[in-house]
Chain A
Amino acid sequence: MNPLLRWFHQLGSPPTFDRFAARWAPWCHAGALVLLAWGTWLALFGVPADYQQGDSFRILFIHVPAAWMSMFVFGVMALYAAIAMVWHIKLCEILAMACAPVGAAFTVVTLATGSIWGKPMWGTWWDWDPRLTTELVLLFLYLGVMGLYHAIDDRRAAARAAGLLAIVGVALLPVIRYSVVWWNSLHQGQTIRMFGESSIDPSMVAPLWIMVGATKLWFAGSLLVRARADNLRRETGKDWVRRLAEGTR
C-alpha cells in the first residue's frame, strides 16, 4: 500500500490520532501566535491611518479574517460530516463536531468586531442588513449543531443528526458571500480578492494576509485539541486511554 495512504488509514485509529493531535496542536498554536503577533503589530503600528476612517479601519485586520474563517470552518465541518455520513468514519464525526465551537468563536468575533466598527462609522451598533443578518443566522446554525450534538446521548447518532444540519446549512454560505451583491446593503462590497487585484491600499494587503494565515493555523490547532478531547471522551475505559492517563503508554 502507498505509505501516505497507509498513514491516512492509521490516523483513523483513535490512539494514533491522539498521538498526532497531541504532537501537532501546540506547533499549530505556536505558529499562529507568532503570525498573530506579527500581523497585529503591522496592523496597529505599521500601516498608516485611513484618510476617511482614521484608525477605526484597523479593526478590519481582525474582522475580515474572522469573517472568512466563520464561513471556511462551516464548509470544513460540512465536508467532514458528509464524509462521516457516507463512509461511517468515526474520526470524521469527531472532527466535524470539533469544528463547530471554533467556527462559532470566529463568528462571534466577526459580529462583535463588525458591531464595534459600525458604531463610529455607521452610527449604530447593529443594522438588519443582509450581510449582518445572514452572519447572525450562521452563528445560530453553529449553536444549533453544537446543541443537537449535546442533546442526544448516543454519540454517533448525535454526530449524524448534527452533521446533517451542518450539511444542509452549507446552503447559507453562498447567501452570505453574495448578500452584498444580491441586495442593497449597508455593508461594503468585495474589496479584497484572493486572485486578482484588491481595491484596498497595497500597504494593507500584507498584514491582512498574515492575519488570514494566522487564523487558519489557529483553526488547525484548535480543531486538533478539541477533537482530541472528544476522542478521549468516546474512548474512555479503553486500555490505551488508561495507559495514556497513567503516563505509561
Chain B
Amino acid sequence: MSYLGYVVGAYGVFAAVLAWDLVVPRLQVRRELRLARQRAARQAATPVPTELTR
C-alpha cells in the first residue's frame, strides 16, 4: 500500500504552515514601515504655527 495521499497531505500541511510563517511577519514589518511613513508625511504636512500662542 503506497499511502501516497497521506504523505502528500502531511507534507502539504507542513509547507502551508511554513509559508504562512514566512509571509505574515514580513507583511507586518512592511505595514509598520508604511504606517511610520504615513505618520511622517502627516507631520510634515501640518503647518508650523508662526505666532506665539498662550
Which chain B residue lies CB-closest to A227?
Answer: B25
Partner of B29, one of A54, A56, A225: A225
Q: How far is the CA of A108 from the CA of B10 in the complex (A)?
A: 11
Contact of A236 among B17, B20, B32 (CB under 8 A): B32
Give the dominant DSSP class at B's interface.
Answer: helix
CA distance A241 to B11 in the complex (A): 39
Residues from 190 to 249 in A contacting B, C-beta threshold 8 Å: 218, 222, 225-226, 228-229, 232-233, 236-237, 241-242, 244-246
Known: A40-B11, A244-B33, A244-B36. A218 touches B18 (CB 8 A): yes
Cα–Cα distance between A116 and B6 once the two chains are bound (Å): 6
| Contact present for A117 and B10 (CB under 8 Å) | yes
Q: A241 and B36: CB pair below 8 A?
A: yes
Which residues of B are found within 8 Å of A113, using beta-carbon distances?
10, 13-14
**What's the interface size class on A, roughly?**
35 or more
B10 touches A229 (CB 8 A): no
A107 to chain B, nearest CB (A): 10
State A242–B34 Cα separation when bound (angstroms): 10
Given A54-B3, A225-B29, A226-B25: 4 more A-B contacts, CB < 8 Å: A109-B13, A232-B32, A233-B32, A241-B32
- Using a CB–CB cutoff of 8 Å, the interface residues on chain B facing chain A are 1-4, 6-7, 9-11, 13-14, 17-18, 20-22, 25-26, 28-29, 32-37, 39-40
